[in-house]
Amino acid sequence: MLQRLKPILLDWAATLVSYFLLGLIRILTGSQARWWGCPPKALQRIYFANHQSHADLVMIWAALPKELRRSTRAVAARDYWGKTPFRHWLTSAVFNVIYVSRARHADEDPLEPLLEALRGGDSLILFPEGTRGFADEPQAFKAGLFNLALKFPEVELVPAWINNVQRVMPKGEVVPVPVLCSVTFGVPMQVLPGEDCTAFLQRARAAVIALRYV
């Protein structure tokens, strides 16, 4: 009996935790979503944003309307978010993330989990820097966004700027600080005809940075 109830109890726990986190984030940050360049439509999209805090994943998730959260999956580093059983459960059961490995292995394509999700109709939340940065502007974007855009040209690419979230959990602190934060979503973009990887990534990064001043 307990074994049969276990999946139900885990699903129930994940739902409770998601509501708790959503409320906590909104209390701490206001979780303002600013749809400046596009409306929050149920279209297949890749949201790509700056990355300065481990809270970025949760911040964008909380900024999306409920109907979009169901079909939008964040991309997270397996070596960090899968490091402990609790982190693994939180990210897989509550946020339904897609794990990627930052360690390169010759026999695997690091984009395959993302390609599989896109083939299944999911939208993605992607941080093209690949790791957190601590400067005012994002680091250079890695090629993954470009490669996904080439393989799925019908998927909208939506730049986003996450403002102030790094101040909610400053480096070295364990207690979050209430700070008003926002996520600004920009105008969808795509790879232009004949545009190479370097030019596209520079343009995509510039699109994210521009939202900081909107």
Per-domain boundaries in the chain: 1-211
Beta strand pairing call for 182-185 and 98-100: unpaired
Backbone angles phi and psi of 182, in degrees to 5: -150, 160
Residue 125 reports pLDDT greater than 90: yes
3-state DSSP assignment of residue 2:
helix
Give the global pTM: 0.84
User: Among 20-24, 51-55, 140-144, whose mean pLDDT is lowest?
Assistant: 20-24
Question: pLDDT by residue (tens digit) across 110-122?
Answer: 889 999 999 999 9
For residues 15-42, give the mean pLDDT: 79
Out of 103-107, 119-123, 141-145, pick the least confident.
Answer: 103-107
In degrees and rounded to multiples of 5, residue 200 shows phi and psi of -65, -45
What's the pLDDT tens digit per position in 143-177? 999 999 999 999 999 999 988 655 545 555 444 54
CA distance 156 to 153: 8
Question: What CATH number labels 1-211?
Answer: 3.40.1130.10
Q: Count Cα atoms within 13 angstroms, Cβ side, for 89.
A: 10
